[in-house]
């Protein structure tokens, strides 16, 4: 869907107008709603399985499990900032490629670099034998920042050079791939530490809290981009002024780079506590 988003937007736009995004959003929402309606009946608990009251936890206890777990809170902090940067850049890309450097087609080409992300994830086991967990995370942050700096720099100087832009995007995605496996590995570690300290494992609660935090970064991204584009003077489906184009570029990469740097600082605290 990432790869075909631009062609679909053009298809729903038809002969012109500005309704491509909204029509695509409605079509996807309708498809997802239909899919949920068709599959939900099969997700019900079989009658042969009895859910006992002791198997459920009240909200207050769930919150205590989360907020009294210092290691998980530090994990959530570094995860939040890195995930926020990830969501921000991915959401801002369409505005950067289309309105800032006038290379809309590269939005679909950028989607192909997801292969580099998968490759980066596959490298984690090998790196884990050679480097410490902290070094791997710093490497993921360094590659992410380097790739974003490359996309910004090449966008200002060689926007029509596909190999250069593709290389910079792939470097960024390598970092993202390493990050994705790192956070999964660290969450498993947090769950095991929690078990050793409390005598109970709460994988569903801690995993759900992490996923909820990821959804929260998505919501913040939508809100932040709306404000950011407004402050930049963005006008949809029009040629942007040089100042607006530059501000979009700075917002597209400056903010996520800053978020990655904050995440790297937070990770040091998490790593220090996890090694104690």
Three-state secondary structure string covering the chain: CCCCHHHHHHHHHCCCCCCHHHHHHHHHHHHHHHHHHHHHHHHCCCCCCCCCHHHCCCHHHHHHHHHCCHHHHHHHHHHHHHHHHHHHHHHHHHHHHHHHCCCCCHHHHHHHCHHHHHHHHHCHHHHHHHCCHHHHHHHHHHHHHHHHHHHHHHHHHCCCCHHHHHHHHHHHHHHHHHHHHHHHHHHHHHHHHHHHHHCCCCHHHHHHHHHHHHHHHHHHHHHHHHHHHHHHCCCCCCCCCHHHHHHHHHHHHHHHHHHHHHHHHHHHHHHHHHCC
Q: Are residues 239 and 139 in the same domain?
A: yes
In a domain, 81, yes or no: yes
What range defines the domain where residue 203 resides? Answer: 59-264
pLDDT of 2: 65
In a domain, 255, yes or no: yes
Q: Are residues 195 and 100 in the same domain?
A: yes
Q: Are residues 94 and 218 in the same domain?
A: yes
When mean pLDDT is compared across 9-23, 85-99, 116-130, 152-166, the lowest value belongs to 9-23
Q: Count structural domains, the chain.
A: 2
When pLDDT is averaged across residues 136-151 and rounded to a whole number, the result is 96
Q: Are residues 6 and 139 in the same domain?
A: no
Q: Are residues 40 and 64 in the same domain?
A: no
Q: Are residues 2 and 138 in the same domain?
A: no
pLDDT band at 171 (very low <50, low <70, confident <90, very high): very high
In a domain, 270, yes or no: no
């Amino acid at each position: 869907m990432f790869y075909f988003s631009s062609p679909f937007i053009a298809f729903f736009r038809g002969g012109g107008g500005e309704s491509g995004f909204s029509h695509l959003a409605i079509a996807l929402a309708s498809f997802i709603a239909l899919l949920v309606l068709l599959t939900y009946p099969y997700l019900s608990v079989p009658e042969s399985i009895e859910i006992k009251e002791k198997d459920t936890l009240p909200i207050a206890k769930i919150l205590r499990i989360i907020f009294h777990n210092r290691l998980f809170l530090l994990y959530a902090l570094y995860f939040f900032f890195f995930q926020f940067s990830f969501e921000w850049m991915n959401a801002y890309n369409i505005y950067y490629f289309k309105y800032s450097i006038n290379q809309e087609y590269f939005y679909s080409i950028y989607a192909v670099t997801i292969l580099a992300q998968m490759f980066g994830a596959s490298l984690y086991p090998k790196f884990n034998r050679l480097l410490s967990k902290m070094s791997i995370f710093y490497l993921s942050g360094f590659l992410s920042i380097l790739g974003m700096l490359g996309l910004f720099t090449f966008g200002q100087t060689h926007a029509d050079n596909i190999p250069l832009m593709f290389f910079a995007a792939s470097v960024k995605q390598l970092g993202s791939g390493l990050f994705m496996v790192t956070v999964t590995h660290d969450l498993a570690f947090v769950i095991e530490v929690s078990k050793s300290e409390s005598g109970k494992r709460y994988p569903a609660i801690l995993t759900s809290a992490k996923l909820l935090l990821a959804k929260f970064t998505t919501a913040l991204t939508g809100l932040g981009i709306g404000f950011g584009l407004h402050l930049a003077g963005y006008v949809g489906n029009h040629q942007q002024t040089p100042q607006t184009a530059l501000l979009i570029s700075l917002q597209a990469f400056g903010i996520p780079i800053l978020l990655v740097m904050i995440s790297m600082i937070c990770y040091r605290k998490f790593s220090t506590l996890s090694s104690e």
